[in-house]
Chain A
Amino acid sequence: MKITADVPSPLTALDRPNSYIGRAVPRPNLARMTQGRAQYVSDVVLPRMAHVTFLRSPYAHARIVKIDKSAAEKARGVVAVVTGTELSEVITPWVGVLSHLKGIKSAPQHAIAVDRACWQGEAVCAVVARTRAEAEDACELIDIEYEELTPVTDPETALAPKTPVIHPELGDNLTFERTLDVGEVDKAFAESDAVVEATFLFGRHTGVTNEPRAIVADWNPGEQRLTVYQGTQAPHMMQNLFAKHLGLEEHQVRVLTKDVGGSFGIKVHTYADEMATVALSKLLKRPVKFVADRIESFVTDIHARDHRVKGKIGVKKDGTITAFEIDDLTGIGPYSVYPRTSGIEANQVVNLVGGPYQCPNYRARARVVFQNKNVMCQYRAVGHPIATGVTEGLVDLAAAKIGIDPAELRRKNLYPDDGYPATAASGLKFEKLSHHASLDKILSMMEYEALCAERDAKRKEGIYRGIGLASFIEVTNPSAAFYGVGGARISSQDGATVRLDATGAIFIHSGVTEQGQGAEAVLAQCVASSFGVPIERVRVVTGDTDNVPYGGGTWASRAAGIGGEAAWQAGKALRQNVLAAAASILQAQPEGLDIVNGIVVDKGTTRERITLDEVARICYFRPDTLPPGFQAELMATRHYVPRAWPFAFTNGIQASYLEVDTDTGFVKLLKHWCVEDCGTVINPQLVDEQIRGGIVQGLGGALFEHCLYDERGQMLNGNMADYLVPMAVEMPDIEIGHVVTPTADSELGAKGAGEAGTAGAPAAVMNAINDALRPLGAKPLTAMPFTPGVILRAIGKV
């Protein structure tokens, strides 16, 4: 194993002999993945397995008058044709609300639409056949009579009296509203030297995981058990939901998550078609497989980000920010998504606007409204790119207005690095952040002054380049404050079970899951270090509700900070157990022994006492030779959840350098930088690549990605050719730097790193584009994505 980079560990607790913390250990699963030997759910095949295809509503809003399925039922290969009404005999509907989001409301959602379809793409009938192709053929033979209803598509008019109410029983189209008024906002604006207002628009976009959603459900009536192979980020959550809505006990359901071809938050939700697949398996008593095709992905994978935010900032001549005010409006489709709700993103925007800056005056309103489009919910860096876009956009506009360098304005207002703990105006509590160290670091990485000079020189040649900065904070390691307090059965704690095998190697079973982030490598690093074995001797098991400790899975950047800490603690506990066994064999004191590199040694020296395989051999096969009354415990479990702080806030800053072609409107990204403080860096390579991948998703949002709908609620670009995502040639090289401020809430001190890239990139690009266009007198661009047409219009070329 070649370790490609090291970051010295900052904590003494981590200075164990042969520690892997801070080292770029390669992931254990890469060899099979590069050989085409991974197993994704889309690869799973079971005996007697049938395939389901869903006939989906062509209308955004329509009453289902009649379904004639007789021809389809006779088609070749067809096992069953099932309507929503028929399926509702097997599975109950659900409502996506949480009690801590006060007033949030939604309507019951069915696995397959009953009587009415509420978005284009909602499943209205299922065909199960021997092959997917046969199921698709039969779908074409189903005759459905619809009565088209008026669709509600524009969030701006969703609450108008003339607009139809999508769920009349709810009274109006308002899902959720939150307001906040802190400090003296009006007074602060009145006392400002300049007040800047802008309306920021964020396009609706979606995750586009390379592997579409996939599930194989296998109800076995013989053992009254349901086994589900699912590409999910939260196996235990899904186990609970399948059981609950199929009328089973949790122990009757096993969820297995093998390799997952991309998730990004898309695969942490409850999808009606996946619930339907599970119900169909129960109904038909055989395995049923559903793999979304790409069009289905576009019209049913959750969308995110569709926000209109009116923002306002006040600033004094000396650069002091006096107040922030926002009014956020977002449309979420016809249902709040279960069980995490579609109110979290807007809530997060209210929480995070103004986040990095010391400013006591803040007023916010967020309204979340229903509409007849695909559902919206949490996607990577929930709410962060919106909050950062608004905050950093306003900060740059203010800097331009009073004629101060944007870096300088940030330096003046960012929370001081020695001013923690601190409480933001929105109420967020920060344990310890490092905005100034991060700002200084990125300015030196990008050689800020030289870069500004280069930009200015190019301008004289008629080449329009811009520099954009974006500071941000990021919510990671969520405790029960995120979902648990709202009544959702989503575990915020996670566990790890560590076991010494009979040859002296280590097994670790963990509740967090692997979707490519490298969670399994991080778990192995933690246990190898705290227990004391070479990492090659650690085998990691995740993604199986029958065989791993109950936990939350991998989302909100919790795998390393929560799953890793549990693994670290479990490794320590097992070390104590094994040392007790070794001591009893050696007739020594456990305190005088340690485990280094897989060998029990005298503590503090490298004098070898006994190998682990010998300890295991004696304990497992010759316990008769151990002293009477001594029982070796060669397995240990530990759980962890942050307690002192509800979240580990991380911080960072990004910078974009780009060139705008004023003839074509194309933006060429020249270089991108990010400095992130995610606390203890367990594996520098994995952290850097998480950030890079996240940045590119953020760049996609800024420049390309947009789910386009017409006024009738039809998605216009539901394919990869028309929905643009970043390709290699459009992307810049990305330089990553770190500031390390460990959280004191855990021994490892690791915070999350998965959202940082996506959180800051769009704002950095927006500010860079506006910087580039400012000499042309263009009105600042604040509506993403910044396509060539948008840019040409801004500079008056079209």
Chain B
Amino acid sequence: MNAFCDISLTVNGERVNERVEARKSLVDFLREDLTLTGSHVGCEHGVCGACTVRVDGEIVRGCLMLAVQCDGASVETIEGVSDSGEIADLQEAFQQRNALQCGFCTPGMLLTAQALLRNGSVPSREDIREHISGNYCRCTGYHAIVDAVTAVAQARAGGRK
């Protein structure tokens, strides 16, 4: 119960060396040890998606992964992708469309949406709904989120032409 491990990883591009309890989840590690509180905890059992972060480029549920599993990995959180400007257009679209109310689901929702749009596709509303269906939003009713993601997909596609 009290096994500790030393891990080293990069988080948002910064080198991190920490000693963590073996049982500690990735999202607790990010929130408590690194004080990156942008990733949220809604359920701790893999259902709500509020804890979504990226590990080695893939989105994962921070509550279902242990911090020790990330030894040697590259982890990106909402803070990282905000500062790099990678999802600035998505963030802007969410604001314009009021695609968030309490904002608790939003960091996870944005990372999930970015994973869908990263390959440059223009998904249908149904595809967007399907893709974000691992992320709970209790406030918005989803319609505005689908609008915002659609707008960004189209803008990005248009911008490439």
Chain A contacts with B in 181-215, Cβ cutoff 8 A: 207-212
Q: When each residue 122-150 of chain B gets 1 if its CB lies under 8 Å from chain A and 0 otherwise, what string results?
A: 00011011101111111111111110000
Cα A734 to Cα B132 with chains together (Å): 17
The interface residues of chain B lying within 8 Å CB-to-CB of A485 are: none
Cβ-based interface call for A733 (8 A):
yes
The interface residues of chain A lying within 8 Å CB-to-CB of B140 are: 689, 692-693, 696
Task: Kindly identify which residue among A37, A43, A728 contacts B132, using a CB–CB cutoff of 8 Å.
Answer: A728
The interface residues of chain B lying within 8 Å CB-to-CB of A230 are: none
Cβ-based interface call for B79 (8 A):
yes
B38 adjacent to A35 (CB under 8 Å):
yes
Cβ-based interface call for A518 (8 A):
yes
The interface residues of chain A lying within 8 Å CB-to-CB of B65 are: none
Mark the stretch among A24-32, A58-66, A234-242, A657-665 that contacts chain B.
A24-32
A211 adjacent to B40 (CB under 8 Å):
yes
A729 adjacent to B138 (CB under 8 Å):
no
Mark the stretch among B3-11, B66-74, B89-97, B153-161 that contacts chain A.
B89-97
Q: A518 with B101: in contact, given A35-B38, A76-B2, A689-B140 (CB under 8 Å)?
A: yes
Cα A27 to Cα B42 with chains together (Å): 24
Cβ-based interface call for B50 (8 A):
yes
Task: Kindly identify which residue among B82, B91, B142 contacts A728, using a CB–CB cutoff of 8 Å.
Answer: B142
Min CB–CB distance B43 → chain A (angstroms): 4
Cα A210 to Cα B41 with chains together (Å): 8
Task: Kindly identify which residue among A26, A43, A259, A734 contacts B102, using a CB–CB cutoff of 8 Å.
Answer: A259
The interface residues of chain A lying within 8 Å CB-to-CB of B139 are: 210, 262, 516, 693
A33 adjacent to B146 (CB under 8 Å):
no
Closest residue to B42 on the A side, CB-wise?
A: A210
A731 adjacent to B143 (CB under 8 Å):
yes
Chain B contacts with A in 75-124, Cβ cutoff 8 A: 77-79, 82, 91, 94-98, 100-107, 110
B47 adjacent to A720 (CB under 8 Å):
yes
The interface residues of chain A lying within 8 Å CB-to-CB of B102 are: 209-211, 259-263, 515-516
Interface size of B by CB at 8 A reads 59
Cβ-based interface call for A651 (8 A):
no
Cα A34 to Cα B103 with chains together (Å): 7
Task: Kindly identify which residue among A208, A263, A518, A730 contacts B98, using a CB–CB cutoff of 8 Å.
Answer: A518
Cα A124 to Cα B1 with chains together (Å): 25
Task: Kindly identify which residue among B23, B78, B137 contacts A36, using a CB–CB cutoff of 8 Å.
Answer: B78
For chain A, the bracket of interface size reads 35 or more
Min CB–CB distance B101 → chain A (angstroms): 3
The interface residues of chain B lying within 8 Å CB-to-CB of A695 are: 141
A40 adjacent to B104 (CB under 8 Å):
yes
A729 adjacent to B40 (CB under 8 Å):
no
The interface residues of chain B lying within 8 Å CB-to-CB of A453 are: none
Cβ-based interface call for A277 (8 A):
no
Cβ-based interface call for A721 (8 A):
yes
Cα A33 to Cα B158 with chains together (Å): 27
Cβ-based interface call for A599 (8 A):
no
Chain A's interface: helix, strand, loop or mixed, by majority?
A: loop
B103 adjacent to A516 (CB under 8 Å):
yes
A39 adjacent to B37 (CB under 8 Å):
yes
Task: Kindly identify which residue among A207, A260, A515, A693 contacts B141, using a CB–CB cutoff of 8 Å.
Answer: A693
Q: A26 with B98: in contact, given A728-B145, A734-B143 (CB under 8 Å)?
A: yes
Cα A211 to Cα B48 with chains together (Å): 10
Task: Kindly identify which residue among B44, B96, B143 contacts A26, using a CB–CB cutoff of 8 Å.
Answer: B96
B21 adjacent to A210 (CB under 8 Å):
no
Min CB–CB distance B129 → chain A (angstroms): 4
Task: Kindly identify which residue among B35, B98, B145 contacts A27, using a CB–CB cutoff of 8 Å.
Answer: B98
Task: Kindly identify which residue among B39, B48, B110 contacts A720, using a CB–CB cutoff of 8 Å.
Answer: B48
A734 adjacent to B21 (CB under 8 Å):
no
Cβ-based interface call for A542 (8 A):
no
The interface residues of chain B lying within 8 Å CB-to-CB of A293 are: 44
Cβ-based interface call for A444 (8 A):
no
Q: A210 with B98: in contact, given A36-B38, A36-B82, A259-B103 (CB under 8 Å)?
A: no
The interface residues of chain B lying within 8 Å CB-to-CB of A208 are: 138
B82 adjacent to A729 (CB under 8 Å):
no
Task: Kindly identify which residue among A137, A260, A696, A734 contacts B1, using a CB–CB cutoff of 8 Å.
Answer: A137
Cα A697 to Cα B141 with chains together (Å): 8
Cα A34 to Cα B93 with chains together (Å): 10
B103 adjacent to A294 (CB under 8 Å):
no
Closest residue to B45 on the A side, CB-wise?
A: A719
Closest residue to A231 on the B side, CB-wise?
A: B102
Task: Kindly identify which residue among A4, A261, A263, A729 contacts B133, using a CB–CB cutoff of 8 Å.
Answer: A729
B100 adjacent to A34 (CB under 8 Å):
yes
Task: Kindly identify which residue among B82, B96, B126 contacts A4, using a CB–CB cutoff of 8 Å.
Answer: B96
Task: Kindly identify which residue among A4, A38, A697, A729 contacts B103, using a CB–CB cutoff of 8 Å.
Answer: A38
B142 adjacent to A696 (CB under 8 Å):
yes
Cβ-based interface call for A48 (8 A):
no
Cβ-based interface call for A42 (8 A):
yes
The interface residues of chain B lying within 8 Å CB-to-CB of A426 are: none
Interface centre among A24, A36, A45 (most CB of B within 10 A): A36
The interface residues of chain A lying within 8 Å CB-to-CB of B79 are: 35-37
Cα A733 to Cα B145 with chains together (Å): 11
Cβ-based interface call for A450 (8 A):
no
Cα A221 to Cα B145 with chains together (Å): 47
Cα A733 to Cα B132 with chains together (Å): 15
Q: A43 with B37: in contact, given A210-B105, A259-B102, A693-B140 (CB under 8 Å)?
A: yes
Cβ-based interface call for A686 (8 A):
yes
The interface residues of chain A lying within 8 Å CB-to-CB of B31 are: 43
Task: Kindly identify which residue among B47, B110, B141 contacts A734, using a CB–CB cutoff of 8 Å.
Answer: B141
The interface residues of chain A lying within 8 Å CB-to-CB of B130 are: 728-729
Cα A31 to Cα B98 with chains together (Å): 11
Min CB–CB distance B155 → chain A (angstroms): 14
Task: Kindly identify which residue among B42, B47, B142 contacts A721, using a CB–CB cutoff of 8 Å.
Answer: B47
Q: A294 with B132: in contact, given A34-B100, A210-B105, A733-B125 (CB under 8 Å)?
A: no
The interface residues of chain B lying within 8 Å CB-to-CB of A260 are: 102
The interface residues of chain B lying within 8 Å CB-to-CB of A719 are: 43, 45, 47
The interface residues of chain B lying within 8 Å CB-to-CB of A37 are: 38, 79, 82
Cα A542 to Cα B132 with chains together (Å): 32
Min CB–CB distance A223 → chain B (angstroms): 27
Q: When each residue 664-700 of chain A gets 1 if its CB lies under 8 Å from chain B and 0 otherwise, what string results?
A: 0000000000000000000001100100111111000
The interface residues of chain B lying within 8 Å CB-to-CB of A734 are: 141, 143
B47 adjacent to A210 (CB under 8 Å):
no
The interface residues of chain A lying within 8 Å CB-to-CB of B91 are: 31, 34-35
Q: A725 with B138: in contact, given A35-B82, A42-B41, A211-B40 (CB under 8 Å)?
A: yes
A34 adjacent to B110 (CB under 8 Å):
yes
Cα A38 to Cα B104 with chains together (Å): 9
Q: A294 with B44: in contact, given A26-B95, A209-B138, A729-B133 (CB under 8 Å)?
A: yes
A731 adjacent to B38 (CB under 8 Å):
no
Closest residue to B77 on the A side, CB-wise?
A: A36
A731 adjacent to B101 (CB under 8 Å):
no
Cα A4 to Cα B93 with chains together (Å): 11
Chain A contacts with B in 235-263, Cβ cutoff 8 A: 259-263
Cα A211 to Cα B100 with chains together (Å): 14
The interface residues of chain A lying within 8 Å CB-to-CB of B132 are: 728
Cα A24 to Cα B105 with chains together (Å): 22
Cα A324 to Cα B142 with chains together (Å): 37
Cα A517 to Cα B79 with chains together (Å): 24
Closest residue to A209 on the B side, CB-wise?
A: B138
Cα A516 to Cα B137 with chains together (Å): 12
21 residue pairs bridging A and B, Cβ less than 8 Å apart: A26-B95, A26-B96, A30-B100, A37-B38, A40-B37, A133-B24, A207-B138, A209-B102, A210-B48, A210-B138, A261-B40, A261-B104, A262-B102, A264-B138, A515-B101, A686-B98, A696-B140, A719-B45, A725-B136, A729-B130, A734-B141
Given contacts A45-B35, A692-B143, 20 further A-B contacts (CB under 8 A): A26-B96, A35-B78, A36-B82, A37-B38, A40-B37, A40-B40, A209-B104, A211-B102, A293-B44, A685-B98, A689-B98, A689-B101, A692-B140, A692-B144, A695-B141, A696-B140, A719-B47, A720-B45, A721-B47, A730-B133
In order of increasing CB-CB distance, the 3 nearest A-B pairs are: A36-B38, A33-B103, A261-B104
